[in-house]
Structure 1
């Protein structure tokens, strides 16, 4: 009887149930690839078995079949490969030796030197175990016992997700978990280690009596997350966080975290997330018993500010939701609320340090060349030293619409914009505004190479203002007023670029005079017209707004009158070098004396403005801009940025200067008493830092200092290391901003990231 027929007969007699067989290969021939494993299909001892082998024999007396030479066996959702396999028909035990590999139902592979399996490969023992999982995770053990195909119990186990050292593969992994015992729960995707040590570079560092983690194949799974322990905090003292993650289903989850502190009461918080086909929801909230009591303080304006009701039961909520209504419309909401700024400070709530919290609900629409948004906003002040909640507005509602048309028959493009709102303050001006801005642009060229832009524009607004004698308007009347303004504008702009080559054809120079004339009715002195001002609190005349039709930040105030703007633009580029320069001035027929001082437009001929960018190579870039007042013989505005270095070491620095701090101009009744003393403090700040990255190491340091106030604003730095399986970051931040009469002082963060395990953090 030939080998092939004998192989079929032997297999048919030793396997229980129905067998599906592949012919045994003749001795010395190469095995072909076999059937694919059916992942996820239930397996039992009665399932058919398919095998391929180079050689086989059968001991009829003892009922033992032997296959050797590149043996491959498939049964249900398991596959087995080895140099030699024996099957005992009497006991139902299959023993494999030499280069044993088992393909698991989840696609992972288990390697071993010796394996005994039974019950459809669901039960067995093995020695010299090596499991290769996702994300380069590896688990090795001296021995293993498998039960029911679901539980793998291992002895003297080692786990890591690090790649072997290329120069010395025998060297210890960068980190590894070395445990006396390990249990892998295949059904619930968990691995639990007992009496485990965390080794780093082969040195035991941390001991865990027990340690449980998700299988690397798991992306989301319910269970306790890493406990956080911080030894010291100014307001919390020594504190610990205990988070629990609940994977509700495939689209939503909930994380609940308890915080226990040595210096104040406990806190419990929760984070809920839901990712749907038509939108998403994310919300976090917390409640705590804050025992800290903060005394009153004097703010920047010399006022006494109390801190009542900022202890005891405190809480916060922060969340967002966004839903797609159809392909053109979506709606959403963002909520940010806290019972007090001191509570946010005490419990390290994200957002502390901001001037205010903003909550809004909105409806957005997108069309071809069009955008619409209807929203409402609420603001909660955090820094009571400069902001009072009663002075912050409720915006109920605000409508924004913008339309950009296609080129028409005359070659021009029409656009329309409107921002309308109803604004309420408990203490301050309350007003309503309706606005329409229409614009028509017609570009054209001539044979001289000149580039012309003709602009026709109409701005129109209608206002109704209440309590105009309060901030930020400070008009000398308690009456309510309805007023409006219409400003038609016509502008013609000319760009005339000249181009030449130099540096033997390797460089180009662009010499470009720019001129613009703008004609509009003189908008006059708005201080006598009782127009509220919500969006034009600062006038910006720099190189960036030199040719703007309106140089106010918004549209409550408009630039009117007859004026002309002139500029000269030069650019040199050669062999990776570049110099770009722009200088210009403005000439105006009428001077509006109600502009904020130091605007640069106090005379018919404006203060000159300019900008220079110098980049001699790819390793350095310098930009400086400013505005010079020839009557005071001083700069009224200056700004500079420099960036230089190579990847291994890079430096950046910046400087900004204004003779006043514009934020405070409208804070008090400037019409009657003039600006507050805080406004007269120059804004002179320098910032800078450096960063370095070499191989797996990185380092950065940054700082910001107010030269006018002779104090730092912030200092910080970050140092760390990262490789394929581990990351360490140490971040330190010192904030000098005073909120509620207190500073947060220094924060130090230690973050250790172990691939496939998680991130451990220590805060102080």
Structure 2
């Protein structure tokens, strides 16, 4: 039958505003057949669609009486509003605005997730939908005989579209149609509400330290820009209140996490921690960042699994970066949680600032000017090592200022050889207090010059492959004399690809390399059109005289350094391997080594790390450090996934930490089970085993989205 289209400007009238009446909103009606009786009664039949103000109605038959403004609709009926809410019914009697009326055999679908099926539903003022004898679920039900995994049965449910809330009367929570919990009254946010006051998904935790407990988060929005979350944690061992505060500003944000506990692990003491962080964009491209970390005792963070850090740092930083300059100033406070350290004898308060400016295209090269200011303070008043075993080092306080300038230029010579020259000068001034072994004031002027040659050889194959071989040579001279000051900042030195050609591999100014130092390296890379790529780097240093400030495990303590070996390999199947190490040729073994393997596919991910560092008394490491770390995840199918991790100490022949997680997730529920074992390596930390379980019902705003896992009935 030929379809008819009729514009009905007289069907619907817009609501009145506070002062004026809005213009009438026209409606569009499409049907196979449209007839008009007595010039006031319209009957549309066959594939009927009506559209008004973003709301679409589909039905088999509509009868509209202009005199009464009533609509009689025969189904199946489907009404979709602009927000995506779907109302399905068998028959309906509505007013002309779809705002008031009665629907029989109604089913309300919110945000394509939550289904509310009822015997009848009543629309009130275009805002409320009241349903009687209701079953609510987000689980897919494909047949009349199937039972959803979970559902809420209620005598009456009211959905408030404006407040985006769902109210239940006499509600029963059922799992596989078995009643478990009864609620005389219940209010939950609908899936379209992103921020609603109320309880979030609870979680259960069982710990050998804290016993069996439950966490019940409660979320409090404080406007659109800030919120609070309170999480009581109760078990036979502890009474804990966790809080989280978040606030967003026009040019920044802050987040504060805290917890306060009374437990039987530490009797008659209140235990707590506070972690806060924030970042703000300031005028003229400045950025202000702050980070606060503190706790009442060394074991609290580990006991409650809030953090695995063994040193806490609180800092405030002001920085600015432009294409030609960089500035940073920060104030840091450290709190150690290690058995072997005390805050009184560690550099607890540190003030650091630096500035660098680039001047490109100057004298054919680039000039760089910079300054560094550094100061750190120890609470101890000792001026030398103490006989007290708790005082590991003295109370030395140090301040320094450094000015530096460098100029560098590059040329391309005959045959494609790349040549470069770098000149640099540092001027350092030190002030030392409370150190009987060091001068109170010291200064040094350190000039340096380096000449570098690179000869890159490239080859492109007919199959599209590309290879590069690049030998590198550098010879450098660093002048000046080392002042009589303690090594306070450069106690740990790393030798890798990043500083192979550096003029000093020490991280701070209290130690600089001296004399003539030569470096040689070889770099090889290959890219294959089949999708794999790889590379190798070798490097070594030669110096006039050995420097006793380098520790044995640095690989730099002798005239000839250990051989630096580094490489990587990757392919398009998601496999990536990186490794580096320092090879001691006299012993034929590695002084340091690290490697990381990652394999990522559509269904699983696997990661493995290896670390080796030799024993070194100069770095306060009495034994060798050698460990494996493993982590992985596997998607078993569309609903089941698992993840695991572990860290194994090869030197101690024991696990340091291990864990396993299993997740079940479909369109209506998400369940996460975890187990973790921590093996303590400190007298202040106790070994523990933790079990955790979190179950979230999807379809409500607190349980997560149900759209991504929607199944299709066969």
1:518 equivalent in alignment to 2:476: yes
1:406 equivalent in alignment to 2:385: no
Secondary structure of 2:207's aligned partner: coil
Distance change (3 Å), C-alpha of 1:89 and 1:540 = closer
TM-superposed CA distance for 1:171, in Å, is: 9.1
TM-superposed CA distance for 1:614, in Å, is: 4.8
Deviations 1:265-317 (A, max 9, x none): x23343222212122222233333333238xxxxxxxxxxxxxxxx4233332
Deviations 1:697-743 (A, max 9, x none): 43333322222122222222333344555544333322224355333
Give 2:221's match in structure 1, choosing from 232, 247, 250: 247
1:488 equivalent in alignment to 2:447: yes
Distance change (3 Å), C-alpha of 1:523 and 1:717 = farther
Provide structure 2 residue ranges, at least 5 long, that are not aligned to the other structure: 381-394, 705-714
Structure 1 Cα separation of the partners of residues 553 and 52 of structure 2: 85
Q: Counterpart of 1:537?
A: 491
Structure 2 Cα separation of the partners of residues 79 and 509 of structure 1: 62
Give 2:425's match in structure 1, choosing from 455, 458, 461: 458
Equivalent positions of 1:348-497 (< 5 A) are 348=304, 350-351=306-307, 353-383=308-338, 385-395=339-349, 397-408=351-362, 410-427=363-380, 428-469=395-436, 476=437, 481-497=440-456
Q: Counterpart of 2:649?
A: 706
Distance change (3 Å), C-alpha of 1:247 and 1:741 = closer
Deviations 1:614-651 (A, max 9, x none): 55874654444332323444432233334457544554
The alignment of Structure 1 onto Structure 2 pairs a total of residues equal to 679
TM-superposed CA distance for 1:499, in Å, is: 3.0
Give 1:84's match in structure 2, choosing from 44, 61, 78: 61
Q: Counterpart of 1:55?
A: 34
TM-superposed CA distance for 1:426, in Å, is: 0.4
Structure 2 Cα separation of the partners of residues 316 and 37 of structure 1: 60
TM-superposed CA distance for 1:376, in Å, is: 1.2
Deviations 1:127-174 (A, max 9, x none): 12233332544433332133444432323434444678xxx7889697
Q: Counterpart of 1:665?
A: 618
Whether the 8 Å CA contact 2:289–2:318 is kept in 1: the answer is yes
Structure 1 Cα separation of the partners of residues 455 and 13 of structure 2: 72
TM-superposed CA distance for 1:598, in Å, is: 3.5
Secondary structure of 1:680's aligned partner: coil
Whether the 8 Å CA contact 1:637–1:658 is kept in 2: the answer is yes
TM-superposed CA distance for 1:510, in Å, is: 3.0
Deviations 1:636-687 (A, max 9, x none): 22333344575445544332222215xx7355xxxxxxxxxxx230112223
1:757 equivalent in alignment to 2:711: no
TM-superposed CA distance for 1:759, in Å, is: 6.5
Q: Counterpart of 2:171?
A: 195
Whether the 8 Å CA contact 1:50–1:73 is kept in 2: the answer is no
Give 2:283's match in structure 1, choosing from 316, 321, 326: 326
Distance change (3 Å), C-alpha of 1:580 and 1:37 = farther
Structure 2 Cα separation of the partners of residues 275 and 150 of structure 1: 31
Secondary structure of 1:405's aligned partner: strand
Structure 2 Cα separation of the partners of residues 77 and 37 of structure 1: 13
TM-superposed CA distance for 1:455, in Å, is: 1.0
Whether the 8 Å CA contact 1:49–1:73 is kept in 2: the answer is no
Whether the 8 Å CA contact 2:673–2:691 is kept in 1: the answer is yes
Structure 1 Cα separation of the partners of residues 129 and 644 of structure 2: 48
Structure 1 Cα separation of the partners of residues 664 and 499 of structure 2: 44
Equivalent positions of 1:132-211 (< 5 A) are 132-134=109-111, 136-161=113-138, 175=149, 177-181=151-155, 182-193=157-168, 194-199=170-175, 203-204=176-177, 207-210=180-183, 211=186
TM-superposed CA distance for 1:483, in Å, is: 1.0
Structure 1 Cα separation of the partners of residues 7 and 509 of structure 2: 75
TM-superposed CA distance for 1:435, in Å, is: 1.5
Q: Counterpart of 1:499?
A: 458
Secondary structure of 1:565's aligned partner: strand
Whether the 8 Å CA contact 1:468–1:530 is kept in 2: the answer is no
Distance change (3 Å), C-alpha of 1:162 and 1:454 = farther
Q: Counterpart of 1:98?
A: 75
Structure 2 Cα separation of the partners of residues 585 and 629 of structure 1: 11
Structure scoring higher RCO (CA < 8 A, sep ≥ 6) equals 2
Secondary structure of 1:390's aligned partner: helix
Normalising by structure 2, what TM-score?
0.84
Provide structure 1 residue ranges, at least 5 long, that are not aligned to the other structure: 1-26, 295-310, 470-475, 668-678
Which shows bigger deviation, 353-362 or 71-80? 71-80
TM-superposed CA distance for 1:552, in Å, is: 2.0
TM-superposed CA distance for 1:443, in Å, is: 1.4
TM-superposed CA distance for 1:518, in Å, is: 0.5
Distance change (3 Å), C-alpha of 1:523 and 1:723 = farther
Give 1:109's match in structure 2, choosing from 86, 92, 100: 86
1:312 equivalent in alignment to 2:269: yes
Q: Counterpart of 1:214?
A: 189
1:287 equivalent in alignment to 2:260: yes
Give 2:515's match in structure 1, choosing from 551, 554, 561: 561
Q: Counterpart of 2:388?
A: none
Whether the 8 Å CA contact 1:49–1:74 is kept in 2: the answer is no
Structure 2 Cα separation of the partners of residues 584 and 602 of structure 1: 16
